Structure formats: C-alpha cells, structure tokens
Amino acid sequence: MDIEAFAGITQNIIRDNGFDDFIPVACFPERREIRGLEGKAPGADIEKEALDWATSLAEQLEEFLVAFKVSDSQFKIVRHLHGALESAIFSVQAATANDLQSEVQRMADLALDNLQERAGGALDYSPESLDVVEEILAEASQHFSEMPDEQIRGLVQQVGCYILEVAYKKFGGQYLWHDDQDAPVLVVGEPDKHVAIVTWGKVNGRLAGDPGDNIAYFFEGFAERAALAPAGTKALYV
C-alpha cells in the first residue's frame, strides 16, 4: 500500500470519528447532542473523555497497520498523528474560556437579531434594554406551554447570553462554565472580589411565567453588588 492510500484511509478514520468537530461540540451545549454528549459540561472531564477517544482512534489505526503490514515509515505517521491528537486535546481546557466568550457573544447577537424588531430597536446591550427583555419574556410566557422544548432552550440560551453580555460590557470579567448550573457564568471583580452571574435558569423561570424572576430587577441586584461590594466579597447571582 502506498503512502497516499494510507493517508487517505487515515483521514477517513479521523473524519468518521468526528475529530474535526469534537472540540466545539464538547464545549457548547447546543451542539453536544450531535455526538451524544448532551448534558456534559466542558471541564476537567472533557480532557479525559477526549483522550480516551483519541486513544481508541490510535488503536484502530494501529490495528489497521498490523492487518495490512504497512511499513515502519507509515507506522511513524500514526504515532505522529496520535501525538498531534493529544496536543489538541490537552489544549481544550486552555481554549475553553476564549471559545466560551466567543460563543456567548454569538448567542447574544442571535438574541438581538431575533428580538430587535419586537424590541423596537431598544436592544443595545445597555442595562436599560433589560426592561424591554423583561417585557418580551413576560409576553412569551403566555405561550410557554405551547412552545416546543427546542424553542424554549434556544430562547433561554440566547436571551441569557444577551444578559451576560450586558454585564460584560459594563463590568468586564471572565466567562467560565458553571458545572452545577450547566451554563456559562460571568465572574467580575477578580482578584479583589468575586461577583458572578448565571442567567439561563433565571430566563427559563421568567419564560415559564414566574414574575419573581424579573430580569431587570435581577440584573440591578447583580450590578449594584458588582460595583459597590467591598474587597473579599464572594457572591453568585443565579
């Protein structure tokens, strides 16, 4: 078997095992279901899961090598490939924060695109725009029981990310993943203080019809704490 044929088969194995989309699928909830990873948040376990998958892939390649009695040079290609896989996999944790910020921004922009007409152009990532977000969710709550789960999940994630971006544009901070909430969390004030906000659950509650989950009031409480809390404060708004 020549090197071109071997390379082609190797590429097919990689593609069939989904390496091209593994990292983004692992990181973002709305895409994890593609590989059966729905409900698994990115975090420490992602590296092990990804490495186990890469090891399995390498074993498949090595079985192929033995079966077809390929040359030593081709065997080295597999070893090189496995090393490249491991390098990419172990970069997941470091890349997650940056990728997560981009995904939150993308989802927030989707909320703006989808709701701006109803908002009368008021969605400008200002805290004041959350009054309109509250109105929109209150209206939508009247139809909550009729909405399919996919639509609810999409609206919750988009509006939740819009709220996070309002907070980020005002206070800065860092996006992380909150394992217990299975949602992004924005942490502001580090290193002097730690004031964090998670929004998806609050949006879901308001969309389900709970007026106690008022979005503007919720954000106001977070914003006041983020601006005025003394050093050493640790608070999570959820």
pLDDT value of residue 177: 84
pLDDT by residue, tens only, the chain of 238 residues: 444 555 555 555 555 554 444 333 333 333 333 334 344 444 445 555 555 655 666 566 666 556 555 555 555 555 545 444 444 443 333 344 557 888 889 899 999 999 999 999 999 999 999 999 999 999 999 999 999 887 898 899 999 999 999 999 999 999 988 888 888 899 999 999 999 999 999 999 999 999 999 999 999 999 999 999 999 999 999 9
Q: Are residue 7 and residue 79 in the same domain, yes or no?
A: yes
95 assigned to some structural domain: no
Q: Are residue 79 and residue 142 in the same domain, yes or no?
A: no
Number of domains in the chain: 2
CA dist 102 and 129 (Å) reads 21
227 assigned to some structural domain: yes
What value does the CA radius of gyration of the chain take, rounded to a whole number of Å? 22
CB 153, CB 220: distance < 8 Å? no
101 assigned to some structural domain: no
pLDDT value of residue 148: 86
115 assigned to some structural domain: no
Instruction: With CA atoms as reference, report the closest residue to 192 among 222, 230, 235, 225.
Output: 230
Range of the domain at 29: 3-90
Domain boundary pick from 90, 115, 135:
90
99 assigned to some structural domain: no
Give the rounded distance of the alpha carbon of 16 from its chain centre: 24
Contacts of 126 (CB under 8 A, 6+ apart): 166
Instruction: With CA atoms as reference, report the closest residue to 188 among 172, 169, 177.
Output: 172
Instruction: With CA atoms as reference, report the closest residue to 138 among 211, 32, 225.
Output: 211
Tell me which amino acid residue 231 is: A
Q: Are residue 80 and residue 24 in the same domain, yes or no?
A: yes
Q: Are residue 84 and residue 127 in the same domain, yes or no?
A: no
161 assigned to some structural domain: yes
Output the six-digit token pair for 156: 């919750």
Q: Which helix (H) or strand (E) holds 186?
A: strand 183-188
pLDDT value of residue 103: 86
Output the six-digit token pair for 42: 């990115």
Domain boundary pick from 74, 90, 106:
90
Q: Are residue 32 and residue 129 in the same domain, yes or no?
A: no
CA dist 120 and 235 (Å) reads 34
Q: Are residue 63 and residue 128 in the same domain, yes or no?
A: no
Kindly list the distances between the CA atom of residue 214 and the CA atoms of 83, 130, 162, 207, 209, in Å, as whole numbers in the listed order.
50, 10, 15, 10, 10
Q: Are residue 40 and residue 127 in the same domain, yes or no?
A: no
Crossing angle between the packed helical segments 44-68 and 72-89, to the nearest 10 degrees: 170
Tell me which amino acid residue 48 is: K
CB 30, CB 157: distance < 8 Å? yes
pLDDT value of residue 90: 35
CB 197, CB 186: distance < 8 Å? yes
pLDDT value of residue 233: 96
Q: Which residue in this structure is represented by tokens 């999409």?
A: 154
Q: Are residue 54 and residue 151 in the same domain, yes or no?
A: no
Domain boundary pick from 34, 68, 90:
90
CA dist 124 and 108 (Å) reads 11
129 assigned to some structural domain: yes
Instruction: With CA atoms as reference, report the closest residue to 219 among 158, 129, 91, 136.
Output: 129
Q: Are residue 133 and residue 229 in the same domain, yes or no?
A: yes
Q: Are residue 58 and residue 138 in the same domain, yes or no?
A: no
Q: Are residue 136 and residue 230 in the same domain, yes or no?
A: yes
Q: Are residue 36 and residue 140 in the same domain, yes or no?
A: no
62 assigned to some structural domain: yes
